[in-house]
Structure 1
Amino acid sequence: MTTEEENVEIEDPAAAAKNKKAAKHEDTGAADLEKITDYVEEAEISSHSIGDAMRVVSDRQAKEVSEKKRKEHELSRVKINKEDVDLIVNEMEISHQLAERKLREHEGDVVKALIELTN
């Protein structure tokens, strides 16, 4: 009987080590899963919150549109020469509208407009 008990004791440490490794991996996975699910709380988004968010977005868009209109109005007040526009169109081979736009952005200065178009 003594030999059987010794055999059992020899087998137990090896089996115990394998069981510990398997249990360790299983336990960490379960613990990690519990950590994730513990911190997640479901919350409903109220219609008031959605309305506020939509209002912020629409206000931002309206501001961008009004800023763009203001800039276009300022650019339309800049005086440019037809000869300058024709020079830029012929030299740079671009559209008439783009040539006018660049001249207006540079307050009618042909040299500055050409420099920007070449860069």
Structure 2
Amino acid sequence: MADEEVVNGSTEETDDKSQKEKRSAKHDSGAADLEKVTDYAEEKEISTQDVSGAISLIGDQRNKQAAEKIAREKELLKVSIKKEDVDLIVKEMEISKLMAERTLREHHGNVVNALIALTN
């Protein structure tokens, strides 16, 4: 009987050790996660040249887009359309005259293509 108690006592000790190891492993992983959170990168100052360069780049892009839009509008105004075609589109599609004219100009005066585009 004395032998059994020793065996039981040693198994209890190994169980206690394994539980302590599991607890310490949990705490270690938490510490590693905490280190990741507390790591930081040095912030660098943003110079005014960088900001002004970015702003001018954005302004250039907007100016370019505006110029392209104006050129597109000029091209559309050159397209000749018939008043009867505009009236037909306004009557059939129940849209404004400006919308009908624009759609007709975008399709180079072709009534069928303009109507197809408006129905899709």
Q: Distance in 1 between matches of 2:11 and 2:36?
A: 38
Change (3 A) 1:11 1:45: farther
Q: Distance in 2 between matches of 1:59 and 1:26?
A: 55
> What's the TM-score, normalizing by structure 2?
0.81
Question: What secondary structure sits across from 1:43 in the alignment?
Answer: coil
Q: Distance in 2 between matches of 1:50 and 1:9?
A: 70
RMSD: 2.3
* 1:18 matched to 2:16: no
Q: Cα deviations across residues 22-76 of structure 1 (Å, max 9, x unaligned)?
A: 2212211221332454463322222222222212211111111111111011111
User: How far apart are 1:116 and its partner, in Å?
Assistant: 0.8
Q: Distance in 1 between matches of 2:68 and 2:92?
A: 32
Question: What secondary structure sits across from 2:18 in the alignment?
Answer: helix
Change (3 A) 1:49 1:73: same
Aligned length: 116
Unaligned stretches of 5+ residues in structure 2: 1-5
Q: Distance in 1 between matches of 2:58 and 2:74?
A: 24
Q: Distance in 1 between matches of 2:38 and 2:54?
A: 28
Larger deviation: 104-113 or 49-58? 49-58
Percent of aligned pairs with the same residue? 51
Corresponding residue number in structure 1 for 2:114:
113
Question: What secondary structure sits across from 2:16 in the alignment?
Answer: helix
Q: Distance in 2 between matches of 1:94 and 1:85?
A: 10
Alignment of 1:18-97 (within 5 A): 18-38=19-39, 40-97=41-98
Unaligned stretches of 5+ residues in structure 1: 1-5
> What's the TM-score, normalizing by structure 1?
0.82
Change (3 A) 1:100 1:87: same
Which one-letter code corresponds to 1:13 in the other structure?
A: T
Q: Distance in 2 between matches of 1:57 and 1:18?
A: 61
